Structure 1
Amino acid sequence: MTTHLVLVPGFWLGAWAWESVLPHLQRSDVRVTALTLPGLESLDADRSAVTFDSHVRAVIDAVNASGDRTVLVVHSGAGPVGYAVTDRIPERIARIVYVDSGPMPDGAALRPDLADDVTEIPLPTWAQLESEGSSLDGLDADMLAAFRAGAIPEPAGPAREPVALRDERRFSVPATAICSSFSLEMIAQMTDAGHPIGVEFAKLPTTFVDLPTGHWPMWPRPKDLAACILDAADA
């Protein structure tokens, strides 16, 4: 049986973010699709009308383009999008893999504070990212330069709009959480503290895997990340 891996990057990133990981995913029984979500195609892309549902629909289209068993891999801010996909088409997702990411409950949003007239979120400074909890551990000067050069402003709509979930069959979709900057211990603390992501993880059949590094493991540890993804796909 062929497994279709659908890779969805986080904020400011396109399919290019997975380039170092792709060679390590090559296997005769695995097919890989790396996505660039709407609004992140180029600096000139129109981001004003991109919605959360636009991103969910793009992932669903990628899944439905193949009849193969699908494992959905979502990084960082793509976590809520991936979770919504398991809500829309739970029967099509064999497993969801959260890469330093997680599910968000119905009605929650990543950036509800954004004003309605904000259309995009530029990549912040490195100091701002770290102050907001996004670890840069493992990223050298060349990786940071490539990140900055390739980054596209994130459409504000998907970050601002609340997640809408309807189908409780999503709770039966197996999940793997690859914990990089957010360790397994931290996730447990979040759950105990009632953090929305931790609470939602507790509702899912989740396997937790520690992969210590920063928030973007695809660059400093591409081979190890690929091994974790393949292990999850084989589970």
Structure 2
Amino acid sequence: MTSTTSSPTVILIAGHWLGAWAWDEVLEHLNTHHSRAIAITLPGLDGDDPERAEKTLDDQAAAILDGLTRLRVPGDQPAIVVAHSGANAPVSLVLDRHPELVRRVMWVDSGPVATGSVFAPDLPEGVEEVPLPPFDVLGQQASLEGLSAEILERFRARAVPEPGPVLRQPVELTNDARRKVRTTLVCCSIPSAQVLELSRAGHAMFAEVANLEHLDVIDLPTGHWPMWSRPGDLANVIQSAASRAD
């Protein structure tokens, strides 16, 4: 078993509408294995912040970088960054700006974005925030497989509207060193074989995967929110990556 003194810090970042709370069950399992794991809430997703609707991708990337530097013990190894879904945009910015701070990035039903990517390019400037859609609408966009009525109720109750500026801001990337960071794709709602096929075909959502120099793929079949549908299994995948001597 890897000890807390040698394990890298694991930073968990959830996607749209979610804060650190989304990882509670995963953290319970990781703590059992003595990982040094923390979850962070991105700027704009703290429901108590009166200015949250003004936050940008740059604000979110800055918060992640702050976490990477503040939580790093002097002389310690770089962190494992676990990014779920829409956290891929700010994490891609972090990898572009400071790849040396990340030992491995794990994309959970997600992946790196390409430069120029915009999540919602047609979102009008006057829209300050986008709330969690009705589940019948959301289910057409991302798989809800494995989510009980109780989980969906908690999701609805705790979700925070996504800031409009985050959804409209283009992701500008310039540093090819981001592609050298060791990467794990945790494929849940789309099988890894299909993800890799789409990547080779140049599909906009997966094109950057083809440019990664050190790539592992893991299938964890479930819906788009495996931190709730398969928290123990997801924790095991993260723990295994954190224990590897890359």
The one-letter code matched in structure 1 to 2:69 is N
- Does structure 2 retain, via aligned residues, the 8 Å contact 1:80–1:102? no
Deviation for aligned residue 1:63: 0.5
Measured in 2, the distance between the counterparts of 1:160 and 1:189 equals 28
Structure 1 position 110 matched with structure 2 position 110: no
**Of residues 32, 36, 55 in structure 1, which corresponds to 2:60?**
55
Matched residues, percent identical? 42
Structure 2 Cα separation of the partners of residues 71 and 188 of structure 1: 23
Match of 1:16 in 2: 21
**2:136 matched to 1:127?**
yes
Give 2:225's aligned residue: 216
Give deviations 1:149-172, integer Å, cap 9, x for gaps.
110101111121110112111111
Give the one of 106, 114, 134 matched to 1:97.
106
Q: Aligned ranges for residues 62-211 of structure 1 at < 5 Å?
A: 62-67=67-72, 68-69=76-77, 70-132=79-141, 134-204=142-212, 205-211=214-220
What residue ranges of structure 1 are gaps of 5+ in the alignment? Answer: none
TM-score by length of 1: 0.95
- Number of residue-to-residue matches in the alignment: 234
Deviations 1:40-61 (A, max 9, x none): 1116632332111011111111
Classify 1:59/1:141 alpha carbon distance in 2 versus 1 (closer, same or farther; 3 Å).
same
Measure the CA separation in 1 of the matches of 2:61 and 2:41: 12
The CA deviation at 1:82 is 1.1
Answer with 31-40 or 7-16: which moved more. Answer: 31-40
Deviations 1:179-220 (A, max 9, x none): 010211220232133112322011112111000000000011
Once residues 113 and 189 of structure 1 are traced to their aligned partners in structure 2, the CA distance between those partners, rounded to angstroms, is: 28
The 3 A distance-change label for structure 1 pair 73 and 63 is: same
Spell out, residue by residue over 1:103-125, the C-alpha distance to the aligned partner (whole angstroms, 9 max, x if none).
Answer: 11111111111111111110001
Maintained 8 Å contact 2:185/2:218: yes
Alpha-carbon RMSD: 1.5
1:39 lines up with 2:48 in the alignment: no
SS in 1 for 2:12: strand
4+ residue segments displaced more than 4 Å? none
Query: For the structure 1 residues 28 and 219, does the alpha-carbon distance in structure 2 shift closer, same or farther, using more than 3 Å as the test?
Result: closer
Gap runs ≥5 in structure 2:
1-5
Cα 1:17–1:56 change in 2 (3 A) is same
